[in-house]
Amino acid sequence: MRARHLIPAVLTACLVVTTAATAQAEDAPTDARVRITGELVRTSVEHRGDQQWSAVRVGNQLVPVAGVALDQTPAHATVTIDVKAPQSVVADAHRADLRDASDSTPATTSSTLGAASTAVATAPGTSPLEVTRVVAADEVRVATYAPATRRITYVEVTPRGMTREAVTETSATQQVARTDSYWREQSRSELRIAAPAMATRYTSAFSCADDPMKLWNEAIARTGWQWRDNRSLVLKLPSAASTRCGYGLGSLGDNPNSPGVLHVADTAAPVLAHELGHNMAFDHANRLVCTDRADAQYDTRTDWWTTCDEAEYGDSLDIMGPSFPTTMPMLSTPQALRHGLLPPAAAVRLGSGTTQVTLAALSGGAGTRAAVISNLSTGVTYWVEYRTPTGRDANNPSRQDAGVRVLRTSPWSGSVLLDPTPTGTLDNQTALGVGQTFASHDGRVKVTTESADASSAVVRIVNTSRRGAFTSTKAPTITGTRGVGKTLTATKGAWSPTPTTYTYRWKRNGASISGATKPTYTPTSADAGRTLTVSVAAHRTGYVSKAVSSAGAGIPIYATNRPYLKGTFRSGQTITVRAGAWTPRPSSYSYRWYRDNIAITGKTGTTYTLTSRDKGTRIHVHVTARRSGYVTGAAITLRSTVAR
């Protein structure tokens, strides 16, 4: 296997067998770092506190990584991270190999140390590389899709220590065909899944006890699969693997065209549809479980709900909920709308006030199928949908109540079903019956079912939320030396309440400066003679963003070529000052002559005749440049010594 052969080959190049070299290794640092840049590949979180499997894709190879530093980094982000080199590598490496591997200067993945660390991380029985720092991560946005056909590479894999369970091309094709039918239906036939290309089966070097990223990495190498949009690599494991490797597991994409890898322990279509859903950016359909409320505040400080729990797979009327061998319910409206599988016309978006909405059954495929409400006070969005036991939803695996449902999202799930009759346990009373009212945790959004029949439901939505207002108690200021090439810094000012984030916009004579959006700004020659201000905007969920500008900071006219003296520096000789070059061009200049840094009385012209008093002294001139409407600039000539 590739990983088995790579480790000895790489380590042979860097291991030391001589006594002298071994002595050097004993002195080598034990905290060597390797810097890795690539795409972050992640799985869903099964339950709070469970391990979320992660790897960085470098080329076509997955390098397993782990660490709390990754907690806030989304799947599919392009990241640059620093990881600890495994101690087994550090202990046997040349000291020279580690010279550039300290915290401040990590080794590259192409270095001997980096290659050896990667080899260890992808080998059986080893731990992922520990992430110590996220150096950079790009922003990943929820994106809609382009109509496409997803290509499937399908391979039968037997994990180490397990008995092979043969998979026929017929069973694989049937599983993919049913999955294709499901996703076509969900996407108006725009997302299609092609018949699988079967790869040669093999027995893995990895067991279910190993990091699944290693199992996938091996499959990528064995099949030659390429990480490209609209492609998925499917590993079919024996059914006995479901209790150890999991019934199914898939990498998370960031849009429905994302590539991905997954494994399943069944040839049933629902589990493949679910895991392909992960590849296509759909996360789990969960449920909020509370004892005395239908909704709760999500505390971003602790990254968890206040007094409630989020039950994984808690929404059985969603394909991204629990997988049952024979049922494939509809994708709920939060994910379908966010990724574009439902057209915008399928939803009505509501502002403040009272609105009556008639919702068509989601499985009917027509009409208004969702009401989307934004709570301006909290920043939370709610989706209201109507589910009936028809079409895809006829088979209700957990027998949860059909009817009007209210959902929202959390930072680590695709959708969260809210329970209008909370009991603190997972029961089936999840729909809002006629006459029942759901209230958001702050009481500003209320949803009441007024009537319902086989095809539609009428709901009344009251939204009294409003965004708060900031008060600026002290305006921002600009500090630092005012001049071209001198860095200026903006203070935030003082605000009530305290904002959570700030944004900055530097302006030149009232016009925004392109790209100047950081707390610091270094004036250029384009700023010479102009007045700079900085606008600081305060932001906080539930509040209207507000911007306040600082007082102006004038940047003097700038001498691009400093003034200079011309002439013979001897007593009795007349010397002349040249103004140099400035931007913008001044309309007038004034001059002040100095002898040994003391102003010479009455000498303010462009020439000066040296006297015996000047012998052995140093002469220079202060030049002041002026132009109407611009900040006055000043510069001095070099100091020149008069001969004795």
Alpha carbons 416 and 409: distance in angstroms, whole number: 5
Q: Which residues contact 609 (CB under 8 A, 6 or more apart)?
A: 572, 573, 574, 575
Dihedral angle over CA of 517, 522, 523, 524, nearest 10: -100
The confidence score (pLDDT) of residue 22 equals 38
642, 611 Cβ separation under 8 angstroms: no
The confidence score (pLDDT) of residue 542 equals 81
The confidence score (pLDDT) of residue 105 equals 82
DSSP 312-369: TT--TTSTTS--BTTB-PPPPHHHHHHTTSS-GGGEEEE-SEEEEEEEEPGGG-SS--
Which pLDDT tens digit goes with each residue over 73-93?
A: 888 889 999 999 998 888 765
Across 603-624, b (16+ Cβ under 10 Å) vs e yields: beeeebebeeebeebebbbbbb
Alpha carbons 597 and 6: distance in angstroms, whole number: 71
Which pLDDT tens digit goes with each residue over 532-572?
A: 999 999 998 888 899 999 999 999 999 999 999 999 999 99
Listed residue (232, 233, 227, 237) closest to 206, CA to CA: 237
The confidence score (pLDDT) of residue 89 equals 87
Which pLDDT tens digit goes with each residue over 614-644?
A: 999 999 999 999 999 899 999 999 999 999 8
The stretch 295-322 carries a mean pLDDT of 86
Can you give the pTM of this predicted structure?
A: 0.76
Alpha carbons 330 and 337: distance in angstroms, whole number: 13
The confidence score (pLDDT) of residue 168 equals 97
In angstroms, what is the C-alpha Rg of the chain? 34
Residue 351: other Cβ atoms inside 10 A: 10
Alpha carbons 465 and 380: distance in angstroms, whole number: 11
Q: Which range (48-62, 144-158, 380-394, 595-609) has the least confidence?
A: 48-62
Which pLDDT tens digit goes with each residue over 350-362?
A: 988 999 999 999 9
Position 511, amino acid: A
The answer to whether the peptide bond before residue 584 is cis (omega within 30 degrees of 0) is yes
Dihedral angle over CA of 604, 605, 607, 612, nearest 10: -30
Query: Cα–Cα distances in Å, from 561 out to 485, 569, 629?
Result: 14, 22, 22
43, 278 Cβ separation under 8 angstroms: yes
Helix (H/G/I), strand (E/B), else coil: 528:
coil
The confidence score (pLDDT) of residue 68 equals 85
The confidence score (pLDDT) of residue 47 equals 58
DSSP β-bridge partners for residue 409: none
Which pLDDT tens digit goes with each residue over 15-51?
A: 333 333 333 434 445 579 999 999 999 998 765 556 6
61, 122 Cβ separation under 8 angstroms: yes
The confidence score (pLDDT) of residue 305 equals 86
Alpha carbons 96 and 277: distance in angstroms, whole number: 47
Alpha carbons 155 and 237: distance in angstroms, whole number: 9
The confidence score (pLDDT) of residue 569 equals 96
The confidence score (pLDDT) of residue 94 equals 53
**pLDDT confidence of 5, banded at 50, 70, 90?**
very low
Which helix (H) or strand (E) segment is 217 a member of? helix 212-223
Position 221, amino acid: A
Domains of the chain are 2-137 (no CATH), 148-279 (no CATH), 285-463 (no CATH), 468-554 (2.60.40.2700), 558-641 (2.60.40.2700)
Percent of the chain with pLDDT over 90: 77
Alpha carbons 621 and 616: distance in angstroms, whole number: 17
The confidence score (pLDDT) of residue 141 equals 67
Q: Which residues contact 451 (CB under 8 A, 6 or more apart)?
A: 434, 457, 458
**pLDDT confidence of 212, banded at 50, 70, 90?**
very high
Statement: residue 63 has pLDDT above 70: yes
Which pLDDT tens digit goes with each residue over 252-289?
A: 999 999 999 999 999 999 999 999 999 999 999 999 99
